[in-house]
Amino acid sequence: MESLLAGLRAAGEPTRLRLLALCAHGELSVTELTQILGQSQPRVSRHLKLLVEAGLLTRFREGSLVFYRIADSGESAHLARTLVDLLPDDDNELSRDLVRLDRIRQKRAEIAESYFQENAGQWNKIRALHVPEADVEARLRELVGSARIGSFLDIGTGTGRMLELFAGQMDRGVGLDLSGEMLAVARTQLEKDEYRHLQVRKGDMYNMPIDDQSVDVATLHLVLHYSLEPASVIIEAARTLAPGGRLFIVDFAAHQEERLRAEHKHQRLGFSDREIHQAMVSAGLEPGPVDSLSGDPLTVKFWQGSRLH
C-alpha cells in the first residue's frame, strides 16, 4: 500500500507523467529529456530523482552520461506500465513530446549510422573470409535450442545482433560492450516495442556489471579473439551463469591470417579446441560437444560449456 501511494504521488504531476511516458519509449539521457520538455536541466533532474526514488524509473550511468528507462522490475514496475497504458493517445502535449522524441532518435541514428559506415567496410572484409553469417546464426540457434531462456547475456554485443536473434525466446536480455559507439548503434537497432525486454550496457568482459549465477545463456560471438586473456574472460562469463546455465563461444579455429592482427586488431589468431576445453574446465564448466563450419581461410567453431551447480 505504501509503495503504491508513493508511486502515485510521484507520478501525479504533469511533467513527471510526461517523463514517465517518454521513458516508456526507450532509454533517454537527462540532456535528451531536457531538450524534449524544454525545461531547465536542474528541474528535470529533480523530477527524475523523484520518479527513480518511487521505483517508477531506473537510472544508470554510462561514462559521462546518465540514462533513464521505465522500471522493468520491482514492485512499482507494474504501476509504471499501467500508468503509461492509461495515458490518452490524443493528448496534445504528449503527442508533441513524442514528435520531439522522434527527432532525437533520428539524430542518434544518424550519428550511430555514420560510425557504423566508417567501420562496416572493415567488418565486411572479415566476413568475406568465413562462411556466411546466416549459416553461423542458424547453427548457433540449433545448438542453443528453442526452449525458453529466462536471462540472456551477450558479451561484446556490438550491434546487438545476438540479442535480436534470440529475442523471441528470452524473458530478458542484456548486451554488454566496451565501446560507446557500438552501444549507440545497438540501442538504435533495438528501439522497437518488441525489444522492450532487451537492454545494452557499457561493460568490460573481464569485469562485468552482472550478478553471480544470474544468467541462463551467455554468448561470446566473435569477441574472444580480441582478448589476450581468453581464459579470464571465460572465468568471468562462468561466474555469471546460474546452475544449469550455458556459455556458447563462437570464434575462429586456430589460423595463420597474421594480417588480422595488424588490420583488425585481433589479439588472437583463433583458438584450439584444447585451449577452450581447458579454460572451460578451469572455470568450473562442463564442456559440451564442439561444432564447426569450415571456411576458407577461416573456420568458425562453436564451443559450449554448462555450469552444473
Ligand X SMILES: C[S@@+](CC[C@H](N)C(=O)[O-])C[C@H]1O[C@@H](n2cnc3c(N)ncnc32)[C@H](O)[C@@H]1O
Asked if 185 interacts with ligand X (CB under 6 A), we say no
| Candidates 31-39, 47-55, 217-225, 240-248; binding stretch for ligand X (CB under 6 A) | 217-225
Select the residue interacting with ligand X from 27, 32, 164, 177 (CB under 6 A). Answer: 177
Which helix or strand (DSSP H or E) is residue 274 part of? Answer: helix 273-282
Q: Which one-letter amino acid corresponds to residue 100?
A: R
Nearer to ligand X, 83 or 182 (CB): 182
Site size toward ligand X (CB under 6 A) is 17
Cα 188 from Cα 166, distance rounded (Å): 17
**Coil vs helix vs strand at 250:** strand
Nearest distance from residue 89's CB to ligand X, in Å? 36
Q: What is the grid cell recorded at 137?
A: 546464426
Residue whose CB is nearest to ligand X in the complex, by number: 158
Select the residue interacting with ligand X from 91, 137, 226, 229 (CB under 6 A). Answer: 226
Cα 66 from Cα 12, distance rounded (Å): 24
Nearer to ligand X, 52 or 165 (CB): 165
Select the residue interacting with ligand X from 16, 108, 201, 221 (CB under 6 A). Answer: 221
Residue 244, Ramachandran bin (φ over 0: left; ψ between -120 and 50: alpha; else beta): left
Q: What is the grid cell recorded at 192?
A: 522497437
Asked if 179 interacts with ligand X (CB under 6 A), we say yes
Nearest distance from residue 201's CB to ligand X, in Å? 10
- Phi, psi at residue 245, to the nearest 5°? -70, 155
Asked if 216 interacts with ligand X (CB under 6 A), we say no
| Candidates 112-120, 177-185, 209-217, 294-302; binding stretch for ligand X (CB under 6 A) | 177-185
- DSSP label at residue 269: S
The DSSP line for 151-163 is EEEEET-TTTHHH
Asked if 257 interacts with ligand X (CB under 6 A), we say no
Asked if 27 interacts with ligand X (CB under 6 A), we say no
The strand order across the sheet containing 65-70 reads: 28-29, 65-70, 57-62
Closest CA to 81 of 45, 57, 117: 57
Cα 189 from Cα 256, distance rounded (Å): 34
Asked if 156 interacts with ligand X (CB under 6 A), we say yes
| Candidates 77-85, 91-99, 221-229, 293-301; binding stretch for ligand X (CB under 6 A) | 221-229
Select the residue interacting with ligand X from 47, 108, 161, 307 (CB under 6 A). Answer: 161
Asked if 230 interacts with ligand X (CB under 6 A), we say no
Residues of the shown chain interacting with ligand X in the complex, contacts defined by CB under 6 A: 156-159, 161-162, 176-179, 182, 204-205, 221-223, 226
